[in-house]
Structure 1
Amino acid sequence: MNPIEKYNTRVDQSHSLLCVGLDSDIKYIPRQFRDDPFPQFAFNRWVIEETHHYVSAYKPNMAYYEARGDRGLAELKMTIDYLQERHPQILTICDAKRADIGTINAAYIESIFDWLGFDAVTLHPYLGKQAIQPFLDRADKASVIICRTSAPGSNDIQDVKVDGRPLWQYL
């Protein structure tokens, strides 16, 4: 089953479009998880077990794991492995906002899809189609292209007119 079918099936099962962000910033994880040898994973596991009946997807933000180096990435991998083992019907989205050139994309794809095992990744389209095409070529995976965000200041770029429409609509 491809990721889109997986997502649609899960939406039908859960009667929900809810996507839970696993934005596990180590500074804000509740105290009871901080003493665990794997605090981000322990917190994520708790969130997953409390919410899995209601969600269609989980979306960890890479920055919170990358910021902790090897330990953070190991805990992200543990989280995705846990989801694949315990809740394989739920889509996993890597919130990474990637897109670059050539071999850099190949490395991102290998890391996000092949090593970490995500079903999908968020991409930004501002480097053009050739920057996102390698992700789109992975028919066994999904890409979420970010056209509009609520980030402060994002309107400075997103609302620029292109052919009479805001850039985010043009994209």
Structure 2
Amino acid sequence: MTSFLPKFHARRDQLRSQLCIGIDPELEKLPKVCLESKSPLVHFSETIVRYTNPFAVSWKPNIAFFERFGPEGYFALEHMVHLMQEVSPEVPIVMDAKRGDLANTAKEYAKYFFQTLKVDALTVNPYMGRDSLEPYLDLGGYLFVLGLTSNPSSRDLQKLKTEGSGLYLYEEVSDQMAKLSETYPGQIGLVVGGTHPQEIQSLRNRHKDLCFLIPGYGAQGGDLESILNASGKDALINSSRGITLSTTSENYGEVSKKKAEEVHLQMNQLFS
């Protein structure tokens, strides 16, 4: 059985927070002290992990910001994941990779993320159907399936009405994921953008037992109180740039820690 939910619930209740810290090290926005180091991504991610660790209910590295650099990027990614597991093994890692492919390909992705890296959860795209998700689930992995994303053009496909049921496509996806979770209990959650508080509330009313991963808070404009009121406690609220890329000064670690603590205290006050 996946370790994600037990780790998340324990850490959430310990900190009285739902803060997921996203790590998106866009090279062009890194502090000068990182760019001057031998390995900018290692320097940056190691500092962020060590400084913000006290306030992380979960980590969410975005693999794209590492992949662009090939072998060096993968080295930095794996170094960071191993550091997270060493410094804070009680904090679940959600790898943001949005994978979505069939059978044998999905099996290979699943083995890399859940057997080699040993992360706790993975974001995936359900567009190709349940047989593109089952290889991850069969390995015992936890999946956050894209439902309604926070970007403006999410409406292009996700808010199309489906024939027959008359549901929006994202609602149909959520229903199918809830049904799939009957076969794989405790292994499936839903990504719902924080810029859609009304839809978050509707999905929570529809699926009381699904865990939500909610990007879009902070730099993308989502309001924390509205998100928490709509999502309830079974949700991770992600903040990336607002915490980790808020300054390019040499003391970016201290600044990131302060930003994480500020969000942590806000969540403390709203936690019930």
Runs of 4+ that moved beyond 2 A: none
Give the C-alpha shift of residue 117 in structure 1. Answer: 2.3
Aligned runs of 1:13-162 on 2, under 5 Å? 13-139=14-140, 141-162=141-162
The equivalent of 2:172 in structure 1 is 170
Give the C-alpha shift of residue 49 in structure 1. Answer: 2.2
- Structural RMSD (CA): 1.3
Rounded to whole Å, the distance in 1 between the matches of 2:38 and 2:114 is: 26
Rounded to whole Å, the distance in 2 between the matches of 1:56 and 1:81 is: 17
TM-score by length of 2: 0.60
Rounded to whole Å, the distance in 1 between the matches of 2:15 and 2:100 is: 31
SS at match of 1:71: helix
TM-score by length of 1: 0.94
Rounded to whole Å, the distance in 1 between the matches of 2:88 and 2:40 is: 20
The equivalent of 2:242 in structure 1 is none
Give the C-alpha shift of residue 165 in structure 1. Answer: 1.6
Q: Which has the larger radius of gyration?
A: 2
Rounded to whole Å, the distance in 2 between the matches of 1:42 and 1:113 is: 25
Rounded to whole Å, the distance in 1 between the matches of 2:22 and 2:51 is: 13
The equivalent of 1:4 in structure 2 is 5
Give the C-alpha shift of residue 54 in structure 1. Answer: 1.4
Amino acid corresponding to residue 156 of structure 1 in structure 2: D
SS at match of 2:149: coil
Unaligned runs of 5+ in 2: 174-272
Rounded to whole Å, the distance in 2 between the matches of 1:133 and 1:107 is: 12
User: Higher RCO, 1 or 2 (CA under 8 Å, sep at least 6)?
Assistant: 2
SS at match of 1:165: coil
SS at match of 1:78: helix
Deviations 1:20-78 (A, max 9, x none): 11111122111111122221121112212222121211111111111000000100000
Rounded to whole Å, the distance in 2 between the matches of 1:126 and 1:10 is: 32
Rounded to whole Å, the distance in 1 between the matches of 2:42 and 2:116 is: 17
Amino acid corresponding to residue 19 of structure 2 in structure 1: L
Unaligned runs of 5+ in 1: none
Q: Report the more deviating stretch, 101-110 or 65-74.
A: 101-110
Give the C-alpha shift of residue 118 in structure 1. Answer: 1.3
SS at match of 1:47: helix
Name the structure with the higher helix share.
Answer: 2
Deviations 1:106-138 (A, max 9, x none): 111122122222111001111101111111222
Rounded to whole Å, the distance in 2 between the matches of 1:51 and 1:164 is: 44
Tell me if the contact between 2:4 and 2:92 (Cα under 8 Å) persists in the aligned partners. yes
SS at match of 1:11: helix
Deviations 1:122-168 (A, max 9, x none): 011111011111112222x3111111101231111010012222111
Rounded to whole Å, the distance in 2 between the matches of 1:34 and 1:114 is: 32
Identity of aligned residues (%): 29
